[in-house]
Amino acid sequence: MPRVNKKDDTIFQKVANMQNSYKRVDAHLSSLGYCTRSEAKKFLNKFRVSIHGTRIFDTTQKAYHNDITVEDEPLDPESLLLLMNKPSGFICSHDDAGVLIYSLLPQRFQRRNPKIATIGRLDMDTTGAILLTDDGTLNHKLTSPKSKVSKIYEVTLAQPLKGDESEIFSSGTLLLNGEKKPLLPAKMKIISPICVELEIYEGKYHQVKRMFGAIGNKVIKLHRLSFGDFSVQNMELSEYKVINMNTKI
């Protein structure tokens, strides 16, 4: 089974190609979280904002996104895509009570409009790879069941393996409680009697935990190693990085 639907390459390229809008400087700065529109004048007085290398002070001046710099650095991308190695204890939501995953991001990213949101969710106690974006179309595309994005988890179990788990998961016949259709085939690699790597291609609610629960075991620790081709193998917990939209997932 492919790691991802090839059509997803197209949506990434479309987003990348759209990132050079023409509008007022204060509109650029406020949408990217540098400051509010009302703060833009003070921002231009405090920081060197330039168009084609020439410093400006008029917040109403219009320019293309790619022509503007702040302190000689390019503006943040208009559509942002981040990969984070999520630590335990953080919630992937804007609405729920508790410590939100977004608090791990710089204040500028937190002030962006539209807001950054996670692409799918990880449970509060689950760690590992999660993508975040402020592009609603991209988010919808990658969370759609049709995308079939590969997700690889490291799973620690309460009880030793029985030996038939790989066959059950790869059969494409496992029907979880409350679901109308069986799960897509999943690949399992045994690391130890109580630890496996599991690759799935959908993202149902608590899917990995429910899969092992359905065969009489319990997940006691869950870490997502990768989402598509994006791995957190060499990233510290809480670390994030900006993903180039021209990258294939």
Record the tokens describing residue 229, joined without a space: 């081709």
The pLDDT of 97-116, averaged and rounded, is 95
Residue 10 has pLDDT above 80, yes or no: no
Q: Phi and psi for 210 in degrees, rounded to 5?
A: -70, -35
In this prediction, residue 2 carries a pLDDT of 35
Residue 1 has pLDDT above 50, yes or no: no
**Which position has the higher pLDDT, 241 or 7?**
241
Per-residue model confidence as pLDDT tens digits over 107-160:
999 999 999 999 999 999 999 999 999 999 999 999 988 889 999 999 999 999
Residue 15 has pLDDT above 80, yes or no: no
Per-residue model confidence as pLDDT tens digits over 157-193:
999 999 999 999 999 999 999 999 999 999 999 999 9
Q: In this structure, is the dihedral angle defined by the CA atoms of residues 101, 104, 106 and 107, taken in order, positive or negative?
A: positive
What are residue 100's DSSP bridge partners? Answer: 91
Q: Where are the beta strands (DSSP E) in 97-229?
A: 117-118, 127-133, 151-157, 187-192, 195-200, 219-227
Active site residue 58: no
Name which of 3, 239, 2 is nearest 129 in CA terms: 239
Average pLDDT, the chain: 92
CATH class (in words) of the domain with range 151-227: alpha beta
In this prediction, residue 17 carries a pLDDT of 56
In this prediction, residue 115 carries a pLDDT of 96
The pLDDT of 51-80, averaged and rounded, is 97
Query: What superfamily does domain 20-74 belong to in CATH?
Result: RNA-binding S4 domain (3.10.290.10)
Provide the percentage of residues in the chain whose pLDDT is more than 70.
91
Q: How far is CA 140 from CA 67, 184, 224, in A?
A: 30, 20, 20
- Catalytic one of 72, 95, 123, 134: 123
Helix, strand, or coil (residue 142): helix
Cβ-contact 69, 50 below 8 angstroms = yes
- Domain residue limits, the chain: 20-74, 151-227
Residues contacting residue 101 through CB under 8 Å, at least 6 positions apart = 84, 86, 90, 91, 92, 118, 130, 132
Helix (H) or strand (E) segment spanning residue 31? helix 25-31
| Three state DSSP letters for 216-245 | CCCEEEEEEEEECCEECCCCCCCCEEECCC
* Exposure class string for 190-199: b at 16+ Cβ within 10 A, else e: eeeebebbbb
